[in-house]
Chains A and B, each alone.
Chain A
Amino acid sequence: MTASWRRWRAGLIFLLPSLALYLCFVVNPFIQSIWFSLTDWDGASKVKEFIGLANYRELFADGLFWQALRHNLVWVLIGTAVPLMIGMLLAQLMWSKPRGFTIYRTVFFLPHILLSTVIGIIWAWIYNPIFGILNKGLDAVGLKDVSRGWLGDPDWALLAVLVAAMWATIGFVFVILLAGLQNVSRDLLEAATIDGANGWQRFRDVTIPEMANVLNVVTALLLIGGFSVFDLIYVMTGGGPNNASQTLATYTFEQAFAQNRVGYGAALSLVMTVLALVTSFIFIRLRERGEEVR
């Protein structure tokens, strides 16, 4: 037996357990999702009847699908832009290690480690119409008209949950951007200062391009997360009131497991997947093109 054959065999043996488990429990169900989405299976009957693209046709005519998609878009836009801006602000302020650096960083990141159930209950309480501190605060400053049952109000439910989600995301974005800032060359900033660039110009023309990779990764993570958001919505509103905070993931869950419309649920989940992947792909392409132009 030659040495190279031994190494070749060892490689396969090392990889085999991972590969088997992954193919069986990830790749296989993913492919089955595609097959399910072409059937009208209800999860119980023996045969899965092939119905072609009927689920997808139904989906594009389904008002609830479009409503859920709109909510996802709101979530993606606000839920990406705001954490990036606040995370960047905090990272900039913390860059030169101010006094109390460790305490600030510890606390900023703290909400991110909490269970979504805990985040959900904390914020459901904050928003509670009777004893919630948000309404109490509004009443105290004379804005009694503004106070309401935030999660029960169709106009506000989605935004209210989104605020809770951002409360937990900002610290994560901050920590990664702070790590990215360590790679920005101080000499380059120095040189820009000597050339007469002001703070904003230095930030725009030196810091941002130097951090391009980190920013790309964080934005892609936030985009994908925004299209597949489920936990907090399920915990706080369950998609309600009257579908006002329904997203593609909660709608998929409801169709597949509450209504037993397995085929339709599979179609929904795949549309969501394609949207998430295409969006982050386009985003990365645009960034690359932007880099070239520069």
Chain B
Amino acid sequence: MATSAPAQRRTSREGGPLGGAFRYLILTAFLLFFIVPIIWIWLSAFKAPKEISRNPFGLPEVWRWGNFVEAWTVGRFGQYLGNSLIYAVAIVGGVTILASLGGYALAMLPLPARNAFLLTFMLGLMIPFESVMIPLFYLERDLGLLGTYFGFIVPGIALRLPFGIFLMRGFFRGLPGELADASRVDGANEWQTFRNVMLPLAWPGMAALIVFQFLWTWNQFMLPLVMVQKDELRPVSTGMMFFFGRFTAQRDLIAAGAVIAMIPVLVLYLVMQRRFIEGVTAGALKS
């Protein structure tokens, strides 16, 4: 510490135009650029439609909590949020369980043609969703999945497995294999070794996977747009769009709806901020 302190001081003094007050000026300018639009929509959610255009940045004259009630019921936001929650739990759960098993097998167990499996899953990491979308729609139609929750859940899991498997494989490879050997010597079978010894150690990896997966599922747009066309089954990401279509003129309700749709992820983000950012970083870099 004693040696690094002068170095720190020197870099900040030598920072030239990017040091000192100027740095805070730039950082604060970007802070405003990112936050002001969000604050604007929050304030608008409490206003009357005319007030939104007349007085965009002022506080509401009257705080109209009724906007939220109306968006929740008339705009069916309660229903959309419930659906999003169902999709998130099912897809995140499915991906986490299957990817842990698969990632463990590819990292720790002797598999024939392991590289062929890895290459196959690699394909899924690289291709954009659009390249499978069209036949997937007709496949779901033929299987009777359209018009059910599974229309989004099943491909939602399948499409995210490659990412999850590579992430979990990376975490399992970082664990000491001797632990698994010791457990086998003690007479545990492969399932017990996985479940009782290795899985608990991979918890940090799973937490990152869960966070990343949740954000991805919640924000997923094109997949439910194509596969979920019944309004009762729509998640908030696409349901909201049709709500905008029906209520274009009612800007107060649109803003209230946008705020409602924002809240679950926002709360999670603010509470688990560090884990969120770590999860997203690990997700991006480890894949």
Contacts and interface: CB of A to CB of B under 8 A. Distances in A.
Contacts of A228: 128-130
A105 B236 CA distance: 27
Interface string B17-57: 01000011011001101110110110010000000110010
A285 to B, nearest CB: 15
Contacts of A172: 280, 284
Interface in A180-203: 180, 186, 189-190, 193, 199
A71 to B, nearest CB: 15
Contact of B123 (A4, A30, A121, A265): A30
A21 B111 contact: no
Contacts of B251: 125
A176 B285 CA distance: 8
A256 B129 CA distance: 14
Given A22-B124, A126-B37, A15 B261 contact: no
A36 B134 contact: yes
Instruction: Find the residue from B40, B101, B273 having the highest chain A CB count within 10 A.
Output: B101
Interface residues of A, number: 101
A115 B215 CA distance: 9
A33 B154 CA distance: 19
Interface stretch (B59-67, B68-76, B202-210, B264-272): B264-272
Contacts of A24: 158
B106 A15 contact: yes
A19 B192 CA distance: 22
A51 B101 CA distance: 43
A159 B243 CA distance: 26
B132 A33 contact: yes
Give the 5 A-B residue pairs with the shortest CB-CB distance, closest first: A131-B53, A11-B109, A10-B190, A32-B135, A25-B158
Given A33-B131, A108-B30, A175-B281, 10 more contacts: A18-B99, A22-B120, A113-B215, A117-B221, A117-B258, A121-B254, A131-B56, A167-B37, A253-B130, A256-B134
28 contacts: A3-B184, A10-B109, A18-B101, A18-B102, A25-B139, A26-B158, A27-B123, A28-B135, A105-B277, A109-B276, A110-B34, A110-B35, A115-B240, A117-B261, A121-B244, A122-B37, A133-B56, A167-B34, A175-B280, A179-B285, A189-B11, A193-B14, A221-B284, A234-B222, A257-B226, A266-B135, A273-B127, A273-B128
